[in-house]
Amino acid sequence: MKVVLDSPLDMHLHLRDGDMLKNVVKYSAECFAGAIIMPNLTPPLTTIKEIKAYKKRILDFAGGLEFEPYMTLFFKDSYDYDFLKEAKSFVKAVKLYPSGITTNSEGGVKNFDMDKLRGVFEAMSELGLVLSVHGETDGFVLDREKEFVDIYENIATSFKDLKIVMEHITDRRSAVLLEKYDNIYATVTLHHLLYTVNDLLGGSLKPHLFCKPIVKTPEDKDVLRELALEAHPKVMFGSDSAPHPKEKKECNGVAAGIFSAPVVLPALCELFEKYGKLDNLQKFVSDNAKKIYDIQPPKKEVVLEKDEFLVPNICGNVVPLCAGEKLLWRCSVGSG
């Protein structure tokens, strides 16, 4: 049994830089035609020069594989119209992080005063640049995304022409906004479709399931599964694959991030098959994203075969999601 995907896309991907980039980029470039690349490096990507240089490093380490990195800028309220107009030729989105809320986000937004942010949001609206948002407060960990809903609503109503992508949604309250506002969209990860907080810490603590936003309740997972399995037209797949060295995950002060790139398509295929929704997988991992972002990725045929896949225990110095487990599907790349 086979499933053939036309130019699958990962609409939320962390590749890091340096040796880590060299180690992990192949796992995405082999089985995806392209990906939205997050800008929270150290220092974050805030200039066109930095964006162009980082894209070149990604392509160099991708080793000639057919893969398009769609770049993003780290949000700053100081960006003006002329800068964003020039940047539009090199980026697809501007990524907004609340300050200090996740890895390398200390330079993010501290005050969501719409008057202070108005200039950037109006320029982005006029230019057609997507606002990509890590939507969490610094409140109680299970409520952080829920508490951000009011901010999403404020932005959506104040800037109705601004296309907003709620990244890696985890909370059923966020999902409601998809129907409420024409200009709000979302990405959903694999791990938030598979796991809950009980998997993370209900028995022994599983550091390789720790991420931000944290995995939530069974009720939240069920809502996300409905969105993904039905391929809701305003929802895209985004892995939020975020590698950290093994020693940063198996220690005190565990780093937040799940490295899922080696397993996302086989695991998604297994999930969609389980619920009789394989016909919707193409929309979830490609077609919806192409419409939302108005992109035409490289032509790339990716074949998923019903064949046992033993997930490696380690990839370089990074432990992948499902390490050591057997999945029912494996990924191979066809001719484009």
Domains identified in the chain and CATH numbers: 8-296 (3.20.20.140)
Name the band, by pLDDT with cuts 50, 70 and 90, for residue 286.
very high
CB 32 within 8 A of CB 92: no
**For the whole model, what pTM was predicted?**
0.97
Which position among 10, 220, 240, 287 bears the catalytic label?
240
pLDDT higher at 122 or 332: 122
Q: pLDDT tens, 206-215?
A: 999 999 999 9
CA distance 86 to 71: 14
Q: Say whether pLDDT at 333 is over 80.
A: no
CA distance 139 to 256: 17
Which string of DSSP letters, residue by residue, matches 30-59? TT-SEEEEP---SS---SHHHHHHHHHHHH
Please, which residues have CB within 8 angstroms of residue 164's CB and are 6 or more apart in sequence? Answer: 130, 131, 133, 152, 155, 156, 181, 183, 184, 185
Q: Say whether pLDDT at 334 is over 80.
A: no
Residue 332: predicted pLDDT: 82
Tokens of 60: 């160099």
Main-chain dihedrals φ then ψ at residue 30, nearest 5 degrees? -70, -40
Going across the sheet that includes 164-166, the strands are: 72-74, 93-96, 130-133, 164-166, 184-188, 235-237
Tokens of 32: 């995806």
Catalytic residue flag (residue 240): yes
Name the band, by pLDDT with cuts 50, 70 and 90, for residue 335.
very low
